[in-house]
Structure 1
């Protein structure tokens, strides 16, 4: 688990844009072209990471310590300040290596073999001075002036945390270091082109592409499906064999990355539909033992498991002959149907399905009559409007009218909740899609909207993500948008996009990592962050780093909401294992890319643990809302609504609703009358094609 921490140490240095990430693939044995230094070319004004030739790992201050005597180890590269070193000239061809994290220098306390390397206050002692001796392949050996011995990875270990010691100079690869200068290259490669697939089977496929170009050289290609990283390969590769899931429909694409960590825009998407491994025409058996129990206007349906010659993959629930929900997995044998009419008789049946969409006959019917009044959280659900485009951001005006953005059509619509009437307020200028999840994203209005009527919008442009505001007068959007924030990196996916005004009157902005995980840890970059700005885009004086950054270490946050205590909750997409709900604190580091949920290197000092995690297959939640200190999460892949009680200690009494009833849920927002707005995102949400959807805007009446 990540160790909770309310603050981040102020000694963390700010890296320049485009810091290096390449050696994360050192386990592949990749030799990465990069701006390297030799004994003759070291720059005392630059920062370096030192990469061991044997292990591919880098010189690291263990545990990010700042005290004298803290040990030095090797660790997987993340380019944190605790892995950055500056060469200070001591004269006579010797240098001291100063940590950008602690300000201390490398030191050997004695001249004995196997003495561990530590950091100490800079006294310019000979034990703190090192000569760079060139080795082949652009590597150097670091020879200590006091003992004449080399900086060595103990026992040639390749493990994270292995000790760094001194040992007589043998020239071994565990004594050779590659000096990679940070910030020397800020130009990303071009996008890979012409993706194509071959050799598609039920378990694998070959993806090929045309080469990208770069001013220095492409170091890696990162291969994704639908925003999830699958693998990375060396820059010399033009194809890769991928493992796929039978029956899945995936959009595959490739990003290029250079040695300085600059990531290209994503290449085009190629869609595959994976065949099943064996023909199966046998449906599951019919579920038995179906019961339905009413509690107010909610009905709980339960049944006994069905069987199948291959395997049951889920169940579908029919209400009065129409499918109203579904479950995933053979073990889930219950469903909660919410928001029903009072004093009404309903008939339920259940059918089982397998991986090849064979369905059983429906079960025998059971009937139930709802109670006279709502006794649960969700009392009624009304489809107020539909749209052929994706309703992504949504905000409620003081008069109860609703504004929502059409993501791929780039316009904003006013919705009358009473009649369902829609009025287009016009397109947002300067928007460009990303052939993925870009367009018009978050929308927000301030609490004093009536007196100061601005509509705040986050959108992708041809070059970046940005936040603008547009005047709303006379019931329409008027004038040229004012640009409040620019330079937020964009890509096909991972654009974040949610906006929320806090009780402090500041605007909070969720930004994705732009498919470059190192940016999430880079305080000089606006990607992978929660930002906080004044309503005119200026930086509040109490922000932790003197920039818009409020918290960092986020992958792709898309949910922001405040509770009655003024605490900020955030919902974040994981890659393929865990999504997470976070409680955001000023200056907090939430761990990405080292940590996903509670997996990975989550014990790094200073990382803040999530309040709750969810398997990606059951979540992928995008929008969140707080109503009467209950947190509601609208989930895409999970196709459900989570509800959790907010307590002093976190989240409790987590329940699921609408499981499969309305498909993928994108946005959750409080309504003016104490209810909830939900929007769906069931079609066309992984491209930038306008009006290829069939979506719903739902009004939820809440009970307790």
Structure 2
């Protein structure tokens, strides 16, 4: 039986071993095989992924480590830099395999059977040299020059993280590797076309599409609904059978991906409405036991849960005959109504609903009178403006007026809070939609705006996402935009988009992964990151990686805010399990795509855990703001605003407000008077059609 991986000896011990390998091998009687003729040809200017024949998984730097002695394992192929290897010619038919991620080479610490494969600084020793021995089917074996033994997956394992060792050359499938050349391919496939559905049932649907083209070849198709990845299929497939949820309305689309990890733009979206699995015309029972209590200008309702022949899915709250909120879940029995008028009598009723839209009767009314003053966090909410487009980003000017971006209309509006008057200050040149969530997104102004009036904008162009700035002169945007940062990958979804100036005077930028999780871990790529630049677009000298990257391993961050200690908090969309709130540190790795919130390979060393997570059904949160060290989080799918107090480095006393009252909430920003600005995103937020919405800009007055 093979023994487990043994940790490498100290550097001093290793130096002595190295000398023994290089010179005295013949004296010790060890015969090193002479390289045999091999048809395997490698391009020393390219990068390769090595895929094991037995497991189908790639040779991988375990835990994305960069240190000498880090273990090499196998892992599900994702074509990240930690799975990319360059062949460096050592002469005589031997090569060293250099990691694109760490710059170190593959290395065996001894010539013994079962010695674990590691990475080590390149010294061109024979223990770091390998020749390629052909196997059937285009696979090769990697034979070490010092030992003559093959790189082998321990015990024929097919598990992620399985150790790689050396073992006498048997030619087994666990010793055979496919060389997938990446370095020469930087061209993305074309977008898949003509998506269409068939065989729709209450639990499944078939999605088909027309093939993409690629200069090398399409390796995979990735299928999404509304920005959430559902599955991937091989590039030879032009359809996929998908699991769906009864009653859901989903927008399905597909991306093409090649072996080098290049991802296409998305196909058009095809919308499906999934039927229920059984007819249901019976409404839930009417809620009973409804009570209402007031604390200042906030009212809390409670009731006993209803029953249903199939299942209750939620409740609707009616105030004065008008629905003002909703909650989800069969067992839910409470609702908080915030921002009411002091010394005012309100009457409430509650009704239950099921998955097919059957609604119970209204409960018996219950009346309550609010107190004389606000005693809670949310004191009042008023509508400051409405808009037919999506108010995506928002910022305040020194004079108290507000600028907000209209995502799909590509312009920026100035709002006078005192009068409600709105004025377009100009359209952002070269902006483009993505038939999804791209367009004109985050905006910001620097603290010295009065003296140096630039408006900073992140927007999607026809080719990328970029950060620009435009002069604000005479109340309008003037001149051509100055491009500060370009080349941020774009796609239908996952564009990020938030901008925030820090107390250090630097501009922080949230970027999505462009629907390519590999990019989030690639520190040379601007996707899936929090970026940090100077106001003129140059890179600060103290950035951790010598480029604009400040932190990495993010999926789709859209919230940035600084607390009173100057620390940066970030809000990030998960895929299908959970969203997360993170405290960002310089150079930090937040785990995507291996880790989603606390789900997945989150225990790997080097990953930074979120401070709080939220089920996606209760989250899909976009913007965040901090006022008096309370964090406010605006949520889309969750249709609510969370409030959490910052205590040390943790979030405590988490509350929910405006649950269902205004629908999907996108941006939340501090106001000049110590309150909040809040925007909705209820209609047309998953397309790029301008002026097909009916949204509100809300002013929130805060209490304690």
TM bracket, shorter-chain basis: over 0.9
Query: CA distance change for structure 1 residues 63 and 622 in 2, over 3 Å: closer, same or farther?
Result: closer
Q: Partners in 1 of 2:78 and 2:510 — Cα distance? A: 22
User: Post-superposition shift, 1:123?
Assistant: 5.1
SS of the equivalent of 1:672 reads coil
Listed one character per residue, the Cα deviations across residues 282-303 of structure 1 (whole Å, up to 9, x for unaligned) are 1000000000000000000000
Task: Please give the residue correspondences for 1:495-574 in structure 2 after superposition, counting only pairs within 5 Å.
Answer: 495-574=495-574
Q: 1:72 to 1:466 in 2, by over 3 A?
A: closer
Distance 1:74 1:432 in 2: 41
Contact 2:78/2:261 (<8 A) preserved: no
Q: Report the alpha carbon displacement of residue 669 of structure 1 after superposing the two structures with TM.
A: 0.5
What 5-or-longer segments of structure 1 have no aligned partner?
Answer: 1-37
Instruction: Report SS of the residue matched to 2:519.
Output: helix
2:205 corresponding residue in structure 1: 205
Q: Deviations over 1:580-604 (max 9, x none)?
A: 0011111111111111111111122
Structure 1 residue 72: deviation in Å? 3.1
Tell me by how many angstroms 1:89 deviates.
Answer: 2.9
How far apart, CA to CA, are the structure 2 residues paired with 1:489 and 1:67? 29
Which residue does 1:27 correspond to in 2? none
Kindly provide the CA deviation profile for residues 151-192 of structure 1, in whole angstroms up to 9, marking residues without a partner as x.
211221101222222333222211101122332200001000
For the pair 1:584 / 2:569, whether they are aligned, the reply is no
CA distance in 2, matches of 1:195, 1:125: 54
State yes or no: 1:612 paired with 2:617.
no
Hey, what's the Cα distance between the residues in 2 that align with 1:110 and 1:679? 62
Give the distance between the partners of 1:121 and 1:220, measured in 2 at CA: 34
1:638 to 1:150, Cα distance in 2 relative to 1, 3 A: same
**CA contact under 8 A between 1:201 and 1:275: conserved in structure 2?**
yes
Q: 2:617 aligns to what SS in structure 1?
A: helix
Cα distance change on mapping 1:101 and 1:527 into 2, 3 Å? closer
In structure 2, distance between residues paired with 1:413 and 1:109: 64
SS of structure 1 residue aligned to 2:202: coil
Partner Cα distance (2:594, 2:115) in 1: 30
The match for 1:8 is none
Structure 1 SS opposite 2:263? coil
Larger RCO: Structure 1 or Structure 2 (Cα < 8 Å, ≥ 6 residues apart)? 1
**Residues 224-273 of structure 1, C-alpha deviations (whole Å, 9 max, x = no match):** 00011001001111111111111110000010111111000001000011
Segment of structure 1 superposing worse, 491-500 or 118-127: 118-127
Partner residue of 1:250?
A: 250
CA contact (8 A) 1:107 1:119 kept: yes
Corresponding position: 1:473 with 2:459: no
1:426: Cα distance to partner? Answer: 2.2
TM-score for both structures, normalised by structure 1 = 0.92
Matched, 1:487 2:462: no
Per-residue CA deviation, residues 600-626 of structure 1 (Å, 9 max, x unaligned), is 111222111111110000000001111
The correspondence of residues 156-175 of structure 1 with structure 2, limited to 5 A, is: 156-175=156-175
Match of 1:73 in 2: 73
Aligned to 2:518, the other structure's residue is in SS state helix
In 1: Cα distance, 2:434 partner to 2:72 partner: 43
Instruction: Determine helix, strand or coil for the equivalent of 1:467.
Output: strand
Partners of 2:487 and 2:238 in 1: how far apart? 31
> What is the CA-CA distance between 1:70 and the residue it aligns to?
4.6
Aligned to 2:218: 218
Return the offset for 1:110.
4.6
Local SS of the residue matching 1:518: helix
Higher mean C-alpha deviation, range 435-444 or range 117-126 = 117-126
Once structures 1 and 2 are overlaid, which stretch shifts more, 177-186 or 669-678?
177-186
1:139 aligns with 2:125: no
- For 2:116, what is the secondary structure of its paired residue? coil
Q: Indicate whether 1:452 and 2:452 are aligned.
A: yes
Given the superposition, is the C-alpha separation of residues 254 and 345 from structure 1 closer, same or farther in structure 2, using an over 3 Å criterion?
same
Whole-angstrom distance in 2 between the partners of 1:597 and 1:63? 17
Give RMSD over aligned pairs.
Answer: 1.6
1:457-516, Cα deviation, whole Å (9 max, x unpaired): 111111111111111122222222211111111111111111111111111111111111
* Deviation larger for 302-311 or 156-165: 156-165
Q: What does 1:174-213 align with in structure 2 at a 5 Å threshold?
A: 174-213=174-213
C-alpha displacement of 1:80: 4.7
Q: Which moved more, 1:466-475 or 1:100-109?
A: 100-109
Of residues 465-474 and 321-330 in structure 1, the stretch that sits farther from structure 2 once superposed is: 465-474
Over residues 127-171 of structure 1, what are the superposed CA-to-partner deviations in whole Å (9 max), with x where a residue is unaligned? Answer: 443221112222101123344332211221101222222333222
Over 3 Å counting, the alpha-carbon distance change for 1:679 and 1:453 in structure 2 is same
2:182/2:259 contact within 8 Å kept: no
* Deviation for aligned residue 1:558: 0.5
Aligned equivalents of 1:405, 1:562: Cα separation in 2: 21
User: Deviation digits for residues 664-704 of structure 1, max 9, x if unmatched?
Assistant: 00000111111100000000000001111110110000001
Equivalent pair of 2:79/2:260 in contact (CA under 8 Å):
no
Distance 2:150 2:545 in 1: 38
Q: Does the 8 Å contact 1:394/1:405 carry over to 2?
A: yes
2:319 corresponds in structure 1 to: 319
Equivalent pair of 1:511/1:557 in contact (CA under 8 Å): yes
8 Å CA contact 1:291–1:303 kept in 2: the answer is yes
Equivalent position SS for 1:247: coil
Partner of 1:19: none
Aligned to 1:342: 342
Q: Deviations over 1:529-563 (max 9, x none)?
A: 11111111111111111211111111111001111
What is the alpha-carbon distance in structure 1 between the residues aligned to residue 70 and residue 486 of structure 2? Answer: 40
Residue 301 of structure 2 is matched in structure 1 by: 301
Tell me: CA distance 1:99–1:226, structure 2 relative to 1, closer, same or farther (3 Å): closer
Q: In 2, are the aligned partners of 1:39 and 1:140 still within 8 Å (CA)? A: no
375-384 or 94-103, larger mean C-alpha shift: 94-103
Task: Quote the Cα distance in structure 2 between the aligned partners of 1:49 and 1:217.
Answer: 16
Give the conservation status (yes or no) of the 8 Å contact 2:397–2:403: yes
Gap regions ≥5 residues in structure 2: 1-37
CA distance in structure 1 between the partners assigned to 2:310 and 2:81 by the alignment: 52
Match of 1:669 in 2: 669
**Corresponding residue number in structure 2 for 1:13:** none
Matches within 5 A, 1:229-308: 229-308=229-308
Deviations 1:285-325 (A, max 9, x none): 00000000000000000000110111100000111111111
Shift of 1:64: 4.6
SS of corresponding position for 1:532: strand
Summarize the Cα distance change of 1:228–1:102 in structure 2 as closer, same or farther, 3 Å threshold.
Answer: closer
Using a 3 Å threshold, how does the CA distance of structure 1 residues 94 and 402 change in structure 2: closer, same or farther?
A: same
Q: Could you say if the C-alpha distance between residues 193 and 69 of structure 1 is closer, same or farther in structure 2, counting changes exceeding 3 Å?
A: closer
- Cα deviation, residue 109, structure 1: 4.5
Does the 8 Å CA contact 1:46/1:181 hold for their aligned counterparts?
yes
Change (3 A) 1:69 1:390: closer
- Structure 1 residues 626, 122: CA separation in 2 closer, same or farther (over 3 Å shift)? closer
**What CA distance in whole angstroms lies between the structure 1 residues aligned with 2:230 and 2:328?**
23
Residue matched to 1:624 = 624
- Tell me the distance in 2 between the aligned counterparts of 1:699 and 1:305: 33
User: What is the total number of aligned residue pairs between the two structures?
Assistant: 667
2: CA distance between counterparts of 1:81 and 1:434?
A: 28
CA–CA distance in structure 2, aligned partners of residues 388 and 102 of structure 1: 50
> Structure 1 residues 41-50 or 327-336, which shifts more?
41-50
Name the counterpart of 1:49: 49
Could you report, residue by residue, the CA deviation over 1:325-371 in whole angstroms, capped at 9, with x for unpaired residues?
Answer: 10000111100000000000000110000001100000001100000
